[in-house]
Chains A and B, each alone.
Chain A
């Protein structure tokens, strides 16, 4: 190691280690805490980071936080708030203290995600094909075929490698027993990967010394792995397939991400109005004429991609796109109709689905789920509304959701009425204590609830990027991490194997 250590961060790193527990930032609560064991000991993989945090004053932390926010603002990682006098740009709240996951825990998460996505892709190929899983009664026929996200138009269409969900972002939570479990799968158009990359970029600059000492596995290959995945979906006889990213446009809240991925993959970012369908081929309008498109990584929901096939009053997609897809002249990624596999009611059957197709037990467990469509389970849910989280099957983003223990009596009564009116539309889960992690709140290190969204790519093969978006519920005690409901995010460090017990002196200037 040379003597070219960056930034002043290292200067104080060799100060005496403060006895863990004695001067912790906070006491861990009931929930599993990522940094402190229940007795207040600092967990091994957080050792270096804790040591570093202790040495930083409140001013240091605040200064680093404002540098971080400034860099997000400059990069345009923002959403727009339209006001009367002027429109202002807000950054998506981001926290500077990374969340750290040791390699042995990650290995299990990775294996579990690969297993899950393999099974879900097989499930999708089956329900849009022979429907054996329904004939064998693994899950109720009407639950699948009656779901609004089931696309009859997809039946008997060929999908290369049976890879329906090319990009998947599953939401994991850590339960009180320290095990990761899957809260929900996102197989439609999952977003957030740009925050994973932007947070990493920021964390490297905020904690350069700690970052290097920790041997964090890199996430920077995501864009080229995504491109390879998309290209692997194209017909083999198209030697150099033209990939594009389809965005709803600049007013979409995830526009930054669409532009970011297109830029890092080096492919055009198109809108519906840039595309032309002619004789079941897809072209884009270039300055010099039309150019053929082979693979569309669409960031537009099923409903809006083709007004001729799906929702008629949509102008975000392009008429005739689905026919071109059916004719095999273009690939749409993710395939239309993948949403049925992340339906909140189908979710309850995923462990059975894994067992059915792979003959294995699920590596990552589900959260216990009550289906309100079953009368007995509905009764249980109604009787225990104050203990459960109830979710509408079709909704996402934290909408249409009741968190029983935190709701008022009035809210619970209203929800009970809605439940009775349309039970099939709801599921319920026990209130799970998401794990907590240290976050910088108003200049102090406090604890907040977090979840974990890793990103899985599936084309010719399935790849999990060793990193994730950790979403943070910024309100104290809140369990809702969605960005539309006041959630933020932070970087997630997946440590490389054999480095968890790195000797202390290595972090000191040589």
Chain B
């Protein structure tokens, strides 16, 4: 049992940390793609920016500037700088609930990406800058896993992470395969899609270097063991949701738990053939919608619940 406001903040720490990591990786892959003289750069940028809801067509703009905006812009609510600052702000509000190991890691990262020299460090070596951000976020997650009690607060943190991850990966796959169907992307671009999902190496071990869109979809949507697949994420969402909801005393099954269970089952029992007949777009859209509904249900059930329901008799 914990303060509702604290649960909410921990949940948002999870979401922002996950988003910061994803955006860093997208920016990094995009910048790396520009090094090759091929039209993969533009395609990769289109997918990366599309996955972040950016409608600007990439071919018209300087990709380096686009990546710099993703990393450091103060106005862009999805930039690494803003999301790290938001994660740290939420962590500060629950400073008494997280461990010193977690706090110091996140605070150090915050000081680095918001400090005066952040812009210069990025210009001197953008790839190193983004790699360090990702590495620090991994250290933060590691600290959370190994120093914080795996109780309710930790579950809210992890829940935020997986809900964010499911949505981000769904959006990435939609940007890559949603509209133009499964064809249309060349080999290098497909590799970049896997890189953006942090999935290239695990994919290669499963499917070898034969990179095919349907296998990418299969891997990132239905991969049972890969931690960034949507199926894996929804299974964790369901697991943590069930545990958290079991403490709520009032009658009936809590709504977010039911929604999470349904989403998990959907991912478990859909297969690729079915998906190919209907198109990936529809499923991905409904995954994103379900995540939004779970998000809202969590807020209504655990944070902003009506008081009349819970007053002592």
B partners with A: yes
| Chain A residues within 8 Å of B, Cβ to Cβ | 73-76, 86-89, 250, 255-256, 259-260, 262-263, 268-271, 273-274, 276, 278, 281, 283-291
A509 to chain B, nearest CB (A): 32
A255 CB contacts on chain B under 8 angstroms = 92
Let me know if A273 and B5 touch, CB within 8 A: yes
A267 to chain B, nearest CB (A): 8
Let me know if B104 and A278 touch, CB within 8 A: no
B250 to chain A, nearest CB (A): 8
B307 within 8 A of partner (CB): yes
B103 within 8 A of partner (CB): yes
Question: Which of A86, A89, A256, A286 is close to B3, meaning CB atoms less than 8 Å apart?
Answer: A286
Let me know if B96 and A287 touch, CB within 8 A: no
Let me know if A287 and B244 touch, CB within 8 A: yes
A289 CB contacts on chain B under 8 angstroms = 248-250, 310
Question: Which of B96, B100, B249 is close to A262, meaning CB atoms less than 8 Å apart?
Answer: B96
Complex A-B: 23 CB contacts under 8 Å? A73-B111, A74-B107, A74-B108, A75-B103, A75-B107, A88-B115, A255-B92, A259-B92, A259-B96, A260-B96, A268-B96, A273-B5, A274-B4, A281-B312, A287-B156, A287-B247, A287-B303, A288-B248, A288-B249, A289-B248, A289-B249, A289-B310, A290-B310
A263 to B249, CA, bound (A): 27
Question: Which of A73, A86, A278 is close to B114, meaning CB atoms less than 8 Å apart?
Answer: A86
B2 CB contacts on chain A under 8 angstroms = 268, 286-287
The 10 A-B residue pairs whose C-beta atoms are closest, nearest first, are: A259-B95, A263-B96, A289-B310, A262-B96, A287-B302, A285-B4, A269-B96, A259-B96, A287-B7, A286-B1
Let me know if A76 and B92 touch, CB within 8 A: yes
Let me know if A250 and B107 touch, CB within 8 A: no
Contact status of A76 and B107, CB under 8 A, knowing A278-B312, A287-B152: yes
Let me know if B93 and A250 touch, CB within 8 A: yes
B7 to chain A, nearest CB (A): 5
Contact status of A285 and B3, CB under 8 A, knowing A86-B114, A86-B116, A250-B92: yes
B311 within 8 A of partner (CB): yes
B115 CB contacts on chain A under 8 angstroms = 86, 88
Q: Residues 110-144 of chain B: 1 if any A CB is under 8 Å from the residue's CB, otherwise 0?
A: 01001110000000000000000000000000000
Let me know if B111 and A89 touch, CB within 8 A: yes
B26 to chain A, nearest CB (A): 24
Let me know if A278 and B311 touch, CB within 8 A: yes
B250 CB contacts on chain A under 8 angstroms = 289
Q: B residues 263-313 with Cβ under 8 Å of A?
A: 302-303, 307, 310-312
Report the nearest A residue to B5, measured CB to CB.
A274
Report the nearest A residue to B304, measured CB to CB.
A285
Which of B96, B152, B244, B312 gathers most chain A CB within 10 Å? B96
A88 CB contacts on chain B under 8 angstroms = 115-116
A285 to B307, CA, bound (A): 9
| Chain B residues within 8 Å of A, Cβ to Cβ | 1-7, 74, 89, 92-97, 100, 103-104, 107-108, 111, 114-116, 152, 156, 244, 247-250, 302-303, 307, 310-312
Report the nearest A residue to B90, measured CB to CB.
A250
A276 to B92, CA, bound (A): 23
Main secondary structure of the interface of A (DSSP, over half): mixed
Let me know if B311 and A290 touch, CB within 8 A: yes
A399 to chain B, nearest CB (A): 27
B305 to chain A, nearest CB (A): 8
A255 to B95, CA, bound (A): 10
A73 to B111, CA, bound (A): 9
A23 to B116, CA, bound (A): 42
A86 CB contacts on chain B under 8 angstroms = 74, 114-116
B74 CB contacts on chain A under 8 angstroms = 86
Which of A255, A260, A288 gathers most chain B CB within 10 Å? A288
A289 to B5, CA, bound (A): 12
A281 to B312, CA, bound (A): 10
A36 to B115, CA, bound (A): 42
B97 CB contacts on chain A under 8 angstroms = 263, 269
B155 to chain A, nearest CB (A): 10
B249 CB contacts on chain A under 8 angstroms = 288-289
A276 to B96, CA, bound (A): 21
B112 to chain A, nearest CB (A): 11
Report the nearest A residue to B104, measured CB to CB.
A74
User: 10 additional contacts, CB 8 Å, given A268-B2, A281-B312, A287-B247?
Assistant: A74-B104, A76-B107, A259-B96, A260-B96, A268-B96, A286-B2, A287-B152, A288-B1, A288-B249, A290-B307
Report the nearest A residue to B108, measured CB to CB.
A74
Let me know if B5 and A285 touch, CB within 8 A: yes
A283 to B93, CA, bound (A): 20
A270 to B89, CA, bound (A): 16
Let me know if A76 and B5 touch, CB within 8 A: no
A260 to B95, CA, bound (A): 8
Contact status of A276 and B307, CB under 8 A, knowing A74-B108, A287-B247, A288-B249: yes
Contact status of A270 and B104, CB under 8 A, knowing A86-B114, A289-B249: no
Report the nearest A residue to B307, measured CB to CB.
A276
A276 to B305, CA, bound (A): 13
B93 CB contacts on chain A under 8 angstroms = 250
B239 to chain A, nearest CB (A): 17
Let me know if B311 and A270 touch, CB within 8 A: no
A269 to B107, CA, bound (A): 20
Report the nearest A residue to B8, measured CB to CB.
A287
A274 to B7, CA, bound (A): 12
B27 to chain A, nearest CB (A): 20
A269 to B163, CA, bound (A): 27
A270 CB contacts on chain B under 8 angstroms = 3
A259 to B9, CA, bound (A): 14
B89 CB contacts on chain A under 8 angstroms = 250
Which of B94, B116, B247, B312 gathers most chain A CB within 10 Å? B312
A397 to chain B, nearest CB (A): 23
A290 to B3, CA, bound (A): 9
A287 to B246, CA, bound (A): 11
B109 to chain A, nearest CB (A): 11
Contact status of A287 and B4, CB under 8 A, knowing A74-B108, A86-B116: yes
A234 to B312, CA, bound (A): 21
Question: Which of B1, B103, B108 is close to A287, meaning CB atoms less than 8 Å apart?
Answer: B1
B302 CB contacts on chain A under 8 angstroms = 287-288
B5 CB contacts on chain A under 8 angstroms = 271, 273-274, 285
Let me know if B104 and A75 touch, CB within 8 A: yes
A278 to B302, CA, bound (A): 19
Which of A76, A86, A273 gathers most chain B CB within 10 Å? A76
A289 to chain B, nearest CB (A): 4
B111 CB contacts on chain A under 8 angstroms = 73-74, 89
B92 CB contacts on chain A under 8 angstroms = 76, 250, 255, 259
